[in-house]
Structure 1
Amino acid sequence: MKHRRDESVSFSAMFGLPAEVGLRMAAEALNLSLSTAYRRVRNGDFPCQVRRTGRRYVVRLPDLMRVLGIQDVRVRYDDVEAGARFASGEGDV
């Protein structure tokens, strides 16, 4: 991937997280049983927006992260590279 040094990308994109997750994963992240998650989807009170694609229910990752209180912050490439150098013991950042 080519990038300029001053560019940034979202945390989720930087680490290759999926754009959406299935209901099972969303339920686990929210500490709900799968049956409770399905019931809440049917009742229209699941904590984030759910979309049906074919026979599956999916939740957009940014929506799930927001409900969990996780910010999808912008990350600068320079900061990631500096962190990798620091973690490998290559000196000061």
Structure 2
Amino acid sequence: MRRRDESVPFSTVFGLPAEVGLRTAAKALNLSPTTAYRRAGRGDFPCPLRKVGRAYVVRLSDLMRGLGIQDVRVLYDDLEAGARFAEGWTAG
């Protein structure tokens, strides 16, 4: 049985990936792929990057931070209450 005060990051609730490729990050940041690769090569991309083989990847949490989006923690109780609300269920 899980504890009722457990929480998860908002991004996890929606099944978002832990990392995205440079092109995806660039699109989210409104950068062209050429500009993104140029900035990555110079070391001044707006988010921290990691190289995996020849590809660059960006942690989703870093991308969200770069976009000014806070990845808040969501309580399971709130998720369950929201699901019940969405189904039209009300108490009483």
TM-score by length of structure 1 reads: 0.90
- The Cα RMSD (Å) is 1.3
Partner of 2:3, secondary structure, is coil
1:2-32 C-alpha deviation (Å, 9 max, x unpaired): 6322111111222222111100110010011
Residues in 2 aligned to 1:90 and 1:14: alpha-carbon distance in whole angstroms: 21
Give the total of aligned pairs.
91
1:53-93 C-alpha deviation (Å, 9 max, x unpaired): 0121100111100010111101000101101111111125x
Unpaired segments ≥5 residues, structure 2:
none
Name the % identity. Answer: 73
Residues in 1 aligned to 2:17 and 2:10: alpha-carbon distance in whole angstroms: 12
Corresponding residue number in structure 1 for 2:75:
76
Unpaired segments ≥5 residues, structure 1:
none
